[in-house]
Amino acid sequence: MRMSRLFVRTLRDDPADAEVPSHKLLVRAGYVRRVAPGIYSWLPLGLRVLAKVEAIVREEMEAIGAQEVRFPALLPREPYEASNRWTEYGPNLFRLQDRRGTDMLLGPTHEEMFTLLVKDLYSSYKDLPLSLYQIQTKYRDEARPRAGILRGREFIMKDSYSFDIDDAGLERSYQAHRAAYVRIFDRLGFDYAVVQADSGAMGGSASEEFLVVADTGEDTFVRSPGGYAANVEAVTTVAPDPQPYDGVPAAHAEQTPDTPTIETLVDHLNERFPRDDRAWTAADTLKNVLVMLRYPDGTSEPLAIGIPGDREVDTKRLETQVAPADVEPFGEADFERYPDLVKGYIGPGVLGSENATGIRYLVDPRVVQGTRWVTGADTPGSHVIDLVAGRDFTADGTIEAAEVRAGDPAPDGSGPLELARGIEMGHVFQLGRKYAEALGLKVLDENGKLVTVAMGSYGFGVSRAVAAVIENSYDDKGIVWPAAIAPFDVHLVVAGKDPAQFEAADDLVAQLEAAGVEVLYDDRPKVSPGVKFKDAELIGIPTIVVVGKGLADGVVEVKDRATGDRRDVPLADLVTTLT
Amino acid sequence: MRMSRLFVRTLRDDPADAEVPSHKLLVRAGYVRRVAPGIYSWLPLGLRVLAKVEAIVREEMEAIGAQEVRFPALLPREPYEASNRWTEYGPNLFRLQDRRGTDMLLGPTHEEMFTLLVKDLYSSYKDLPLSLYQIQTKYRDEARPRAGILRGREFIMKDSYSFDIDDAGLERSYQAHRAAYVRIFDRLGFDYAVVQADSGAMGGSASEEFLVVADTGEDTFVRSPGGYAANVEAVTTVAPDPQPYDGVPAAHAEQTPDTPTIETLVDHLNERFPRDDRAWTAADTLKNVLVMLRYPDGTSEPLAIGIPGDREVDTKRLETQVAPADVEPFGEADFERYPDLVKGYIGPGVLGSENATGIRYLVDPRVVQGTRWVTGADTPGSHVIDLVAGRDFTADGTIEAAEVRAGDPAPDGSGPLELARGIEMGHVFQLGRKYAEALGLKVLDENGKLVTVAMGSYGFGVSRAVAAVIENSYDDKGIVWPAAIAPFDVHLVVAGKDPAQFEAADDLVAQLEAAGVEVLYDDRPKVSPGVKFKDAELIGIPTIVVVGKGLADGVVEVKDRATGDRRDVPLADLVTTLT
């Protein structure tokens, strides 16, 4: 491909709406072009990379015996009604009506459709195990589409689904997919972590995420020296054992004027009610946070969360726990409806289904029986001291809503946790029987008995991968593609204007292409060498060959885009050097 | 691929909603599966055929230097507003709103988006000529989705667009695409015709359609012995020269009671007003037909059409002429609003912008100056005889709305027309400057002057092709694939239950695959030979190899699916025979 004919224009400036490196670079280097928020066109360079990612995914899916099919993107409402996702997806779903007024949707994922297809065609244990996959365009109406193709509203996914007669089969299918994902992630050159994930709204049991490690990632995950790794939403808190509280004095309310924050409260406690053993800390206080849960069907419910005062509520962890409800702030109007709630001094005395407000009250798992707390006394300017969990108050249950912090213990005892950020690129998931039950997918087993099929679902973000690779591999000059998915193998630049250079370059390109090397040939006669080099570094093809002054000595320069290493290679050796 | 693992179930019965052979066979043989009206999933067999069609199209596009890009299917409203197609497409367009209430659509075709992309990146004559294409999923909300994937609501198209500095360049790009289409149609083994097409709603000038000749086609086209070929909508009527009418008597109204139809009128004329020279025929009468035109913006307008009484109005030809308006019947309520219209006796006396009704009046091109007609006298039971066009009445213009009949003369004098039916598979189109003007695509020419770019657009129905091929190639047993796009090259069937047959088959399959032959291997141990043969013929792979009793003599049977020819081939020769 000649640069003079390639449909591309590199841009000097970052697009105004771009925040992350991959977004800036893919637009500047002419790989994609924005059409609407979260909706992009693929230009020739981008489409070549996309096709290479697709080919790798396809190879690894075929290698585990998965068969390719393709579902439509425009789907009827009924199957999603049966699984309840028509409602649960809320505003994330693109909905529309056809000319007859029939409700339809643009598929965000296809569990329902695959379940129905297998139900439609298969009926016996002899037909199983079965794995099907598709590489297909999906839609999600993201609230804040940004980060370019890293988080688009129209995107390409590989989604596969496994069908087994029993749990043991599901486990085998799951492990086969997991191993295929490891190979895909290795081949794409990702820096990645496989972490335990919360099963969340998808239903089902075992679930792991493949995260690309990147500071720009939207997901936080943890890992321990002993090998534990989990999405922060899936981390379970290590709770202390119940504690004896025989000698603990009775709870006593005290005047604590002007202490609406944890910090002012702790200072006040240390000044007016000093402890003998040590100073009060925020961890001694029990903070009660109110939120409103908004359900997809439009109803809402207040929720009170009690967590140690040294921690914040982690919105994502909370959302995972209450899904499919959305979490909204508890506003002034809400407070007015509950006059028993005294802002800044809310305590367990009015919370919980048995107390004055009747608001459901869930506490952090650290609030075990016998733990002593300072918390609001439900009167302005007053807190209760020596309030003992299990003696003086009981919550409606526990909730994993407090932030996870570096240094927290791993739940499996494998050491202190470290926090990192990642991009969710893959998700392997033992769905179990949720969809098969909802849609009636049963087959006859060996004894002629109808049994519900065990399913797994396995997603991989094909278009997202094109961007995520860059988040792992770029520098201040541009993209640095791994060889496996670079749009071309070699970027050959003619550095001067000497016709002999162009002739030599023509000849080298022909030789390389004959040897199966994909070459992007910068043959532009009137563009300066400086601009050509900048373009080459921005576009990021792994090997740059420069036909320049060295030609007089029979050599060309071969430069490694990643390391910047250069060396002169005799013309006659170029093909063997690069193949 | 082993039949025992392939995700497929062949069906004995035609699907209830299927009318055309390709629809019946693709569903019965397990290539596609219906999801909703006009919306299908591709099963593994179907996806393989689709991929082969795509590969051929891609090769031929690359061969003419077109570069592949990919646009989203979900598009913003604005560009389609600028071209007026947001309105013109009417109910055929899938429209939706995102969570912010922004109007969006599912792209039916991408002229606007390509125009804007080139405007975005290119600015000079030096950048041209340019040809871009995509293979992409498109949407049209068909009123009557039927015929399976032959006419779906979600379908895959190859659409390309050319950009040139001038008309000569456009002509070159057009001819290059046309030649590529000829190669694609030849490679796919189509029986096809390239016909002149009406430019219709797309705007622009030269336009040809590639029709697959098939009785099940929705399009009618004509061809002449001298090589003229046109879509029936594009046929122009050969009008007679103006005729002298010096000796023609003055028009005279006559009583013609009970003659509401042309037939009764002609009988009445021959009985009561016989001609000297010959009998009256329907062609002597002028029939006036009223319709309502409904425009996309919701407004409507009546239209009167005058055609010789021996012809009917051809709705498709009429619709093409009045597009983007839809044609609706002229109802009772409409007649009530125009009391001057006397049903069964309507004549030019009250039609036309200058007469009583003011209804626009367009006549068939055969109604030239001096022609004599019998037509309605606008009084019940009365007709006018010797009414001369140009002397006694004048229409507002002419219209190509009368049916074209076999035997009509070709407009280029190349002989009488024959009528045939076809499936529109491709369309090549000189758009000219309609979209470039609407969206402001201009580049600097050699003199530094801004000029509007000349565009072409070229469509090919990729998913439709999978069905259309079958309309050309099937028999009572099933599909007969051309080798170029068959899902596999060879269908190898084990006919007995002898383990030696399975061993020999395993070995042959391994040999064939090693030689690059794609084999579908029917290894099902408990399925009868009869069922296996029926499946093989239904699925339609070109070569069927049977490992059966001949194995004892060291031979297998090789059967040609198309001709039914069988011959025995020694085991050792099978690979060379089939490669």
Give the pLDDT confidence of A396-452 residue by residue, as tens digits: 999 999 999 999 999 999 999 999 999 999 999 999 999 999 999 999 999 999 999
Look at chain B and count its residues.
579
Are B209 and B69 in the same domain? yes
Are B367 and B431 in the same domain? no
Rounded to whole angstroms, the Cα distance separating B221 from B194 reads 10
* SS3 assignment for B447-499: CCCEEECEEEEEEEEHHHHHHHHHHHCEECCEECCCHHHCCCCEEEEECCCCH
Are A264 and A370 in the same domain? yes
Using the predicted structure, report yes or no on whether residue A289 has a pLDDT greater than 60: yes
Average pLDDT, chain A: 95
- Taking contacts as CB-CB distances below 8 angstroms, the residues of chain A near B9 are 121-122
Contact B5 A65 (CB under 8 A): yes
Contact B67 A36 (CB under 8 A): no
Residues 6+ apart with CB under 8 A from B57: B135, B158, B184, B460, B462
- Taking contacts as CB-CB distances below 8 angstroms, the residues of chain A near B71 are 35, 41
Interface test with B, best of A98, A112, A161 (most B CBs within 10 A): A98
Write the pLDDT tens digit of every residue in A42-98.
999 999 999 999 999 999 999 999 999 999 999 999 999 999 899 989 899 999 999
Does residue A378 belong to any structural domain of this protein? yes
Q: What CATH code is carried by the domain that includes residue B559?
A: 3.40.50.800
Q: Helix or strand or coil: residue A28?
A: helix
If pLDDT is split at 50, 70 and 90, which confidence band does A203 have? Answer: very low
Q: Whose structure tokens read 């600015």?
A: B123
Give the number of other Cβ atoms within 10 Å of residue A259's Cβ.
Answer: 20
Are B286 and B230 in the same domain? no
Contact A36 B75 (CB under 8 A): yes
Which letter does DSSP use for residue B64 in this model?
Answer: T
- Between residues 39 and 68 of chain A, which touch chain B (CB distance below 8 Å)? 39-44, 47, 50, 65, 67-68
- Integer-rounded Cα Rg, in Å, for chain A is 30
Q: Are A25 and A470 within 8 A, CB to CB?
A: yes
Distances (CA, A) of A47 to A505, A548, B88: 26, 30, 32
Q: Are B193 and B223 within 8 A, CB to CB?
A: yes
Shortest distance between the Cα of A363 and any Cα of chain B, in A, equals: 34
Among B364, B398, B432, the domain-final residue is B398
The amino acid present at A568, given as its one-letter code, is: D
Which letter does DSSP use for residue B410 in this model?
Answer: P
Name the residue of chain A whose CA is nearest to B27's CA: A121
- Between residues 153 and 212 of chain A, which touch chain B (CB distance below 8 Å)? 153-154
Does residue B15 belong to any structural domain of this protein? no
Q: What percent of chain A has pLDDT over 70?
A: 99
Rounded to whole angstroms, the Cα distance separating B207 from B456 reads 9
Are A183 and A39 in the same domain? yes
Between A and B, how many residue pairs show a Cβ–Cβ distance under 8 A? 132
Does residue A222 belong to any structural domain of this protein? no
Q: What CATH code is carried by the domain that includes residue B376?
A: 3.90.960.10
Q: Helix or strand or coil: residue B536?
A: helix
Rounded to whole angstroms, the Cα distance separating A252 from B463 reads 77
- Going through A472-535 in order, the beta strands assigned E by DSSP cover 474-475, 478-479, 490-494, 519-522
Does residue B3 belong to any structural domain of this protein? no
Among B398, B426, B443, the domain-final residue is B398
- Taking contacts as CB-CB distances below 8 angstroms, the residues of chain A near B113 are 35, 41
Using the predicted structure, report yes or no on whether residue B200 has a pLDDT greater than 80: no
- Taking contacts as CB-CB distances below 8 angstroms, the residues of chain A near B35 are 71-72, 75-76, 113
Compute the average pLDDT of residues A339-365: 95
Predicted pLDDT at A440: 95
Across A116-120, A382-386, B324-328, B466-470, least confident range: B324-328
Query: Nearest to residue A182, comparing CAs of A172, A192, A167?
Result: A192
Are B268 and B180 in the same domain? no
What is the count of structural domains for chain B? 3
Does residue A150 belong to any structural domain of this protein? yes
Are A456 and A526 in the same domain? no
Rounded to whole angstroms, the Cα distance separating B160 from B110 reads 9
Range of the domain at A458: 21-189+433-471
pTM of the model: 0.90
Q: What CATH code is carried by the domain that includes residue A155?
A: 3.30.930.10
Q: Whose structure tokens read 């039971």?
A: B381
Compute the average pLDDT of residues A342-346: 93
Are A505 and A439 in the same domain? no
If pLDDT is split at 50, 70 and 90, which confidence band does B202 have? Answer: very low
Does residue B105 belong to any structural domain of this protein? no
If pLDDT is split at 50, 70 and 90, which confidence band does B205 have? Answer: low
Contact B70 A42 (CB under 8 A): yes
Using the predicted structure, report yes or no on whether residue A204 has a pLDDT greater than 70: no
Predicted pLDDT at B297: 84
Buried-state track A440-468, b at ≥16 Cβ within 10 A, e below 16: ebebeeeeeeebbbbbbbbbbbbbbbbbb
Does residue A243 belong to any structural domain of this protein? no
* Tokens coding A518: 């994909």
Closest partner CB to B44 (pick from A68, A75, A76): A68
Contact A36 B104 (CB under 8 A): yes
A104 in B contact zone (CB under 8 Å): yes
Contact A67 B44 (CB under 8 A): yes
Residues 6+ apart with CB under 8 A from A554: A570, A571, A572
Shortest distance between the Cα of B41 and any Cα of chain A, in A, equals: 4
Contact A76 B43 (CB under 8 A): no
Query: Nearest to residue A231, comparing CAs of A215, A208, A214?
Result: A208
Compute the average pLDDT of residues B375-382: 94
Contact A73 B137 (CB under 8 A): yes
Compute the average pLDDT of residues B111-136: 96
If pLDDT is split at 50, 70 and 90, which confidence band does A454 have? Answer: very high
Does residue B107 belong to any structural domain of this protein? no
Are B26 and B144 in the same domain? yes
Q: Helix or strand or coil: residue A227?
A: coil
Write the pLDDT tens digit of every residue in A248-266.
999 999 999 988 899 999 9
Query: Nearest to residue A75, comparing CAs of B41, B209, B213?
Result: B41
* Tokens coding A474: 């770029």
Which letter does DSSP use for residue B70 in this model?
Answer: B
Write the pLDDT tens digit of every residue in B499-546.
999 999 999 999 999 999 999 999 999 999 999 999 999 999 999 999
Compute the average pLDDT of residues B227-235: 91
Are A547 and A460 in the same domain? no
Q: Is the peptide bond before B324 cis (omega within 30 degrees of 0)?
A: yes
Which letter does DSSP use for residue A77 in this model?
Answer: S
On the 0-12 / 13-18 / 19+ scale of CB atoms within 10 A, B545 is buried
B313 in A contact zone (CB under 8 Å): no
Using the predicted structure, report yes or no on whether residue A201 has a pLDDT greater than 70: no
Using the predicted structure, report yes or no on whether residue B243 has a pLDDT greater than 50: yes
Are A334 and A465 in the same domain? no
Contact B96 A95 (CB under 8 A): yes
Residues 6+ apart with CB under 8 A from A555: A568, A569, A570, A571
If pLDDT is split at 50, 70 and 90, which confidence band does A178 have? Answer: very high
Shortest distance between the Cα of B364 and any Cα of chain A, in A, equals: 35
If pLDDT is split at 50, 70 and 90, which confidence band does B323 have? Answer: confident
Among A410, A442, A471, the domain-final residue is A471
Are B169 and B56 in the same domain? yes
Predicted pLDDT at A547: 97
If pLDDT is split at 50, 70 and 90, which confidence band does B204 have? Answer: very low
Write the pLDDT tens digit of every residue in B37-57.
999 999 999 999 999 999 999
Across A531-540, B134-143, B192-201, B292-301, least confident range: B192-201
Shortest distance between the Cα of B132 and any Cα of chain A, in A, equals: 8
